[in-house]
Structure 1
Amino acid sequence: MTDHEPLPAGGLQHVTTFCGQCSCGCPELYVDPAADDDRRVVITDDFGRSIRMSLAQLAVIVDDARAGVLDELLAGAR
């Protein structure tokens, strides 16, 4: 689900920038401590859009990535 509401002007805690080797507005990962638990994680894309998810949902993505679930998908991108 994509959020259409603007991101808060302040209060987001930056976690990481994905890529960061250019100036094109790379995707970024934030934590919004003021948000409800089910919307605490914010991922922005390079088009100014964002999605929100819970820390539990992010944990599933991280666990799957560690287990190699995404390896085949990414094999052609490297």
Structure 2
Amino acid sequence: MTDISALEPVATFCGKCDCGCPQLFIDPSAPAERRVVLTDDFGQRIQMSADQFSSLVDDARGGKLDGIALA
């Protein structure tokens, strides 16, 4: 995985293991449109603005993701 030591941790989504769970960070040195960082256990990352992340959270809270079947 790319170095995440300079990122500010916000949340870990699992935390029940030591597998490199998905995590949410803030990158204070990134441009505003790339400040929110999501990492996965495969070493990948997604960067987005706070507005984009807020929209994603609002959609999830509103049930927009409830019908997704992940099997």
TM-score for the superposition, normalised by structure 1: 0.80
Q: Which runs of 4+ in 1 moved over 4 A?
A: none
Between Structure 1 and Structure 2, the one with more helix by share is: 1
> Alignment partner for residue 65 of structure 2, among 53, 57, 70?
70
Please report how far the alpha carbon of residue 49 of structure 1 lies from its aligned counterpart in structure 2 after TM superposition: 1.3
SS at match of 1:72: coil
Is 1:36 aligned to 2:18, yes or no? no
TM-score for the superposition, normalised by structure 2: 0.87
Corresponding residue of 1:15: 10
Alpha-carbon distance in 1 for matches of 2:4, 2:23? 15
Alpha-carbon distance in 1 for matches of 2:68, 2:26? 27
Is 1:58 aligned to 2:61, yes or no? no
Change over 3 Å in CA distance of 1:62–1:34 after alignment to 2:
same
Query: Aligned letter for 2:16?
Result: Q
C-alpha root-mean-square deviation of aligned residues, in Å?
1.7
Please report how far the alpha carbon of residue 45 of structure 1 lies from its aligned counterpart in structure 2 after TM superposition: 0.5
Query: Aligned letter for 2:18?
Result: S
Please report how far the alpha carbon of residue 8 of structure 1 lies from its aligned counterpart in structure 2 after TM superposition: 5.1
Corresponding residue of 1:45: 40
